[in-house]
């Protein structure tokens, strides 16, 4: 296939681009690319990308990637010269992740990790696009009993018939698809295994505890932990995570799967108390029954990310929480309506 010309800027497709993480990625990539944001708005929200719609180099298309995709035939993309330039990069972030609504979107979750990814990989094979898939720490299975860090070669154990297997095993199968397309068609397929991430624009009242902690503290409501006082986690701020994704995509050679997340372990109850203190709230911390999709995750070994990408988290937890509190204070009316 002859070399595909690039007119001014590369074309980048981001699935799930109106979501929490996707919207920040769209924003960051606009500095260097023409960005196509694809989202069916199951988990995403237009409010996350409203500020980007004014840019000529940004296009939002509401579409379910489980349905056929032919970007060269979408008239909205004519100005991106897709028919001639194709797509240089594809970031696949689309996947429902609501702990409280997990059962509601099980089939969507199953399909997006199989049919949706297949649709994208076929495009990648056609246009020789680089693909970055946002996998998950859940592919490692439960946190090791000794609390040890998991490196990328850790196999883990995942129950492929469990009630949450459509996500856990779905992510593992997605990685297999990427490896297979790489072997058969030469697709440059990159895998980011993402650990728990927090920041502004995270959807509220779906069971992701950190954003709810902030809003509830501002409203002097209870901060609900779905587990007990021993619930531990690592927390990576969204700007750090986005930086890691871009560095992985830009790496000269494919380093293989890469863990992206914080390697600092924190007690969730201490995070909740810190938020109460930072907001001068009268809220109390309460404990509720665990959610199927909300579990204690392994801690990431991030040596590969440091060595191969020059990446590591730089935003302190206190600074990340401060940014979330400021965002929530500025958007309280809007957040209450979501």
Residue 146 exposed, middle or buried by CB count within 10 Å (0-12, 13-18, 19+) = exposed
> Hey, CA dihedral for 127, 244, 15, 176, is it positive or negative?
positive
Of 105, 167, 226, 237, the catalytic one is 167
Rg of the Cα atoms in the chain? 20
SS3 82: helix
Tokens standing for 27? 């924003």
**Other residues' Cβ atoms within 10 Å of the Cβ of residue 31:** 10
H or E segment and range at residue 102 = none
The number of angstroms, rounded, from the C-alpha of 65 to the middle of its chain's C-alpha atoms is: 16
Query: Dihedral through CA 257, CA 261, CA 262, CA 267, nearest 10?
Result: -120
Is residue 167 annotated as part of the catalytic site, yes or no?
A: yes
Helices (H), the chain: 20-29, 82-85, 106-111, 117-127, 165-185, 209-218, 238-250, 268-278, 303-304, 317-330, 332-336
Catalytic (active-site) positions: 167
């Amino acid at each position: 296939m002859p070399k595909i010309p690039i007119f001014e800027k590369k074309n980048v497709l981001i699935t799930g681009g109106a979501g929490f993480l996707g919207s920040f990625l769209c924003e960051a990539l606009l500095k260097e690319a023409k960005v196509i944001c694809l989202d069916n708005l199951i988990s995403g929200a237009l409010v996350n990308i409203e500020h980007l719609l004014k840019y000529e180099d940004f296009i939002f298309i509401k579409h379910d990637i489980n349905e056929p995709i032919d970007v060269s035939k979408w008239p909205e993309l004519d100005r991106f010269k897709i028919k001639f330039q194709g797509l240089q990069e594809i970031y696949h972030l689309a996947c429902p992740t609501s702990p409280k609504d997990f059962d509601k979107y099980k089939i969507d979750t199953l399909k997006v990790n199989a049919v949706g990814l297949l649709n994208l990989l076929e495009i990648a094979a056609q246009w020789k696009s680089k693909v970055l898939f946002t996998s998950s720490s859940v592919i490692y299975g439960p946190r090791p009993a000794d609390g040890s860090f998991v490196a990328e070669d850790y196999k883990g154990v995942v129950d492929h018939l469990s009630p949450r297997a459509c996500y856990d095993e779905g992510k593992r199968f997605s990685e297999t698809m990427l490896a297979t397309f790489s072997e058969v068609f030469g697709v440059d397929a990159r895998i980011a295994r993402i650990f728990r991430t927090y920041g502004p624009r995270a959807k509220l009242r779906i069971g992701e505890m950190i954003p709810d902690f902030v809003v509830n503290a501002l409203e002097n409501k209870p901060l609900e932990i779905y587990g007990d006082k021993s619930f531990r986690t690592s927390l990576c701020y969204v700007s750090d995570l986005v930086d890691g994704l871009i560095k992985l995509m830009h790496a000269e050679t494919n380093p293989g799967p890469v863990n992206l997340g914080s390697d600092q372990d924190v007690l969730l109850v201490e995070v909740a108390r810190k938020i109460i203190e930072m907001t001068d709230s009268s809220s109390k911390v309460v404990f509720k029954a665990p959610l199927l999709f909300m579990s204690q995750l392994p801690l990431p070994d991030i040596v590969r990310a440091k060595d191969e990408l020059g990446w590591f988290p730089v935003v302190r937890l206190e600074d990340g929480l401060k940014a979330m509190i400021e965002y929530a204070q500025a958007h309280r009316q809007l957040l209450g309506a979501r």
